[in-house]
Amino acid sequence: MFANPRRPANSARFAFLDPRATTFFIDWDKTADDAVAVLRGEAGRKPHDRDLSDLVGELSTQCKEFGVRWAKHDVRYHDTGIKRIHHPVVGDLELTYEAVTLRGDTELTMFVYTAEPGSKSAEVLSLLGSWTATIDPTEPLDVVGEV
């Protein structure tokens, strides 16, 4: 999602509008359902949020899959769970996540992803960490941008 020049980066936009998302998220249907449910919840909490309504409009007009899910009116907040992704270089990862609300701004939520210690996913994350440490930040992100 960060390879897309559109800012701010948005996971729902990536999930529904980027063709790579269906292979990146192993459980794409669950990811898509969760994204829409969170957006529905936010729309209820902030009905006059222009950025949110613009995002929903963009997704509704550009992606039938989003529109079908939006019409279900499913509202759900998921603050913990498991996300399974397929990284194009190192393969499949299974990460647990937890939402953390920031004290300084309760409107912001950060998701923390971790791998089970000693698991294949932990090994792969370590490999990715060492790989990215060798990347020159002044060079174009052609290879990394495909992530």
CA dihedral 100, 101, 105, 108 (to 10 degrees): 80
Paired tokens of 47: 């009905």
% helix, strand, coil for the chain, step of 5: 45, 20, 35
In this prediction, residue 3 carries a pLDDT of 80
Would the pLDDT of 145 be above 50?
A: no
87-122 pLDDT, tens digit per residue, is: 988 999 999 999 998 889 888 888 899 999 999 999
Confidence of residue 146 (pLDDT cuts 50, 70, 90): very low
pLDDT in tens, 6-57: 888 899 999 999 999 999 999 999 999 999 999 999 999 899 999 999 999 9
| Per-residue model confidence (pLDDT) at position 79 | 86
* pLDDT the model gives residue 53: 96
pLDDT at site 94: 97
What are residue 101's DSSP bridge partners? 109
How far is it, in rounded angstroms, from Cα 42 to Cα 52? 8
CA distance 147 to 72: 31
Q: What is the pLDDT of residue 137?
A: 62
Give the pLDDT of residue 4. Answer: 79
pLDDT tens, residue by residue, 66-85: 999 999 998 887 789 999 99
Going from N- to C-terminal start, the domains of the chain cover 1-77, 79-147
Short-list 41, 33, 1, 37, CA closest to 17: 1
Would the pTM of this model clear 0.75, i.e. be above it?
Answer: yes
> 122-141: per-residue pLDDT in tens?
999 999 888 877 766 666 55
